[in-house]
Amino acid sequence: METTSTLKITKRDNSKIADVDFNNLAFGSVFTDHMFSVEYVNGQWQQPEIVPYGPISMDPSAKVFHYGQAVFEGMKAFKDDQGDIFLFRPEDNWERINTSSARLAMPELPKEVFMEGLMELLKLDEAWIKAGDGNSLYIRPFHIATQPGVSASPSDRYKFMIILAPAQSYYSGEVSVVFAEKYSRAASGGVGYAKAAGNYAAQFYPTNLAKEEGYQQVIWTDANTHEYLEEAGTMNVFFRVGDKLLTAPTNDTILNGITRKSIIQLAEAAGITVEVRPVAVKEIVEAAQAGELKEIFGVGTAAVVVPFKSFAYKGEDHKLNAPENSYGVQFKKDLNDIQYNRTEDKYGWRVAVK
């Protein structure tokens, strides 16, 4: 047992890394040797600690199970060819989980607790971060209500944790999507902009219906009219019409994606016209019919960039054939080059783990 400032560290006796097949990883199913944890009790964050990864004990009446006070983040760590480790815009994740927490009446976590716990955890489990294109360590910070009791009120106790999972590609194969005509991801005035656990649970049923029809994901439409496109599955989405790039503005129904805003900056730096505005279903269907729709791709931490091969609307499939100068392919390469320390980082996004 050791401490770094206020952080207590208890190491696992023997690593389980030798039992892991890093060539055959199912995303988010294998976890590293350690995890970070800190409790919120009596209006204060307690001493943070890193302990061996394992089950946690909670009362069956803990409010997270009954009233859904749960938020999370998704991040990645990368290792370059020299063995150095880097994060990508980690302060953005800290800011966003606090935004999500505040929306669900949960206490915000101090920056120094988040960053120190994350850095020390990564250094402790650095052997799990593999170099090479496509390899990364997926980082899952999450925050849950732990107070026992089923009264319908905010919890007065919370637990914040970080767990780590070695990762390869999130999606494999070609992806077809369907535009939502009935179901919505989020409603105006709700919690769509927060990474609240319930947002994702609510997507599973309509996504399963889409899969039964042969589609891998749903592009969600607005709850009021179903006339405007918002997000793709669990990702932000971009549409390339001609040489212009279109994406919906962030608001209280759309997540402020870190990959999304990075791609907007990369596109603008490359001289590509980016229009951040409501994108109508009718506009995209007509662009596809006229041969002007060149690409649709989803973007997010886990997947980075996922090109869609087709979309369906009102029973009609529209095929997409990405041009040779695919924006999605180029943006993924540009982001990966920064993340893996293969090129200059002009934006200050890359943060070394030391």
3-state helix/strand/coil string of 163-180: EEEEECCCCCCCEEEEEC
* Shared-domain flag, residues 284 and 159: no
In this structure, the answer to whether residues 185 and 110 fall within a common structural domain is: no
Confidence of residue 3 (pLDDT cuts 50, 70, 90): very low
Please report where in the chains the tokens 């790039």 appear, as a residue. 245
Residue 257 lies inside a defined structural domain of this protein = yes
- Decide: 247 and 307 in contact? Cβ < 8 Å: no
Average pLDDT score over residue span 16-45: 96
Instruction: Say whether both 208 and 250 belong to one domain.
Output: yes
Range of the domain at 279: 175-339
DSSP letter (8 states) at residue 34? E
Is 230 among the domain residues? yes
Distance CA(111)–CA(100), nearest Å, equals 15
* Domain end marker among 134, 167, 200: 167
Residues 28, 60: Cα–Cα separation, whole Å: 25
Question: 335 pLDDT exceeds 70?
Answer: yes
Report the distance separating Cα 46 and Cα 281, nearest Å. 49
**Confidence band of 1 (pLDDT split at 50, 70, 90):** very low
Residue 153 falls inside a structural domain: yes
Mean pLDDT of all residues belonging to the chain: 95
Q: Are residues 284 and 150 in the same domain?
A: no
Same domain, 194 and 133: no
Residue 223 lies in a domain: yes
Q: What percent of the chain has pLDDT over 70?
A: 98
pLDDT at 174: 81
The average pLDDT across 107-120 equals: 97
**Percent of residues, the chain, with pLDDT higher than 90:** 95
The CA distance from 202 to 185, in Å, is 7
Q: pLDDT digits over 164-187, tens only?
A: 999 987 666 789 999 999 999 999
Identify whether residues 230 and 207 lie together within a single domain.
yes
Residue 279 shares a structural domain with residue 193: yes
Domain boundary, last residue among 132, 167, 202: 167
The per-residue pLDDT for 290 is 97
What's the CA gap between 27 and 167, in Å, rounded? Answer: 6
What's the pLDDT score for residue 303?
84
**Is residue 255 scored above 50 in pLDDT?**
yes
351 in a structural domain = no
308, 297, 302, 293: which is closest to 331 by C-alpha?
297
273: domain CATH number is 3.20.10.10
**Kind of pairing between the strands at 70-72 and 136-145:** antiparallel
Average pLDDT over residues 140-164: 98
- pLDDT exceeds 60 at position 5: no
Instruction: Indicate whether 203 and 222 sit together in one domain.
Output: yes
Show which of 137, 167, 197 is a domain's final residue. 167
Query: Where residue 92 sits, what CATH number does that domain have?
Result: 3.30.470.10
What pLDDT, in 10s, does the model give residues 258-272?
Answer: 999 999 999 999 999
- Over range 1-18, report the average pLDDT: 82
Distance CA 77, CA 129 (A): 7
Number of domains observed in the structure of the chain: 2
In the chain, the N- to C-terminal Cα span, in Å, equals 21
Reported as a pLDDT band with limits 50, 70 and 90, residue 6 is: confident
Give the span between the Cα atoms of 161 and 140, in whole angstroms: 8
Residues 187 and 106 in one domain: no
Residues 22, 151: one domain?
yes
Any domain includes 334: yes
In a domain, 354, yes or no: no
pLDDT of residue 319: 96
Higher pLDDT, 171 or 153: 153
On whether both 120 and 45 belong to a single domain, the answer is yes
Residue 240 located in a structural domain: yes
Task: Clarify whether residues 160 and 197 are in a common domain.
Answer: no
What is the pLDDT averaged over residues 232-240? Answer: 96
**Contact (Cβ atoms closer than 8 angstroms) between residue 165 and residue 30:** yes
Q: Are 155 and 69 in contact (CB under 8 A)?
A: yes
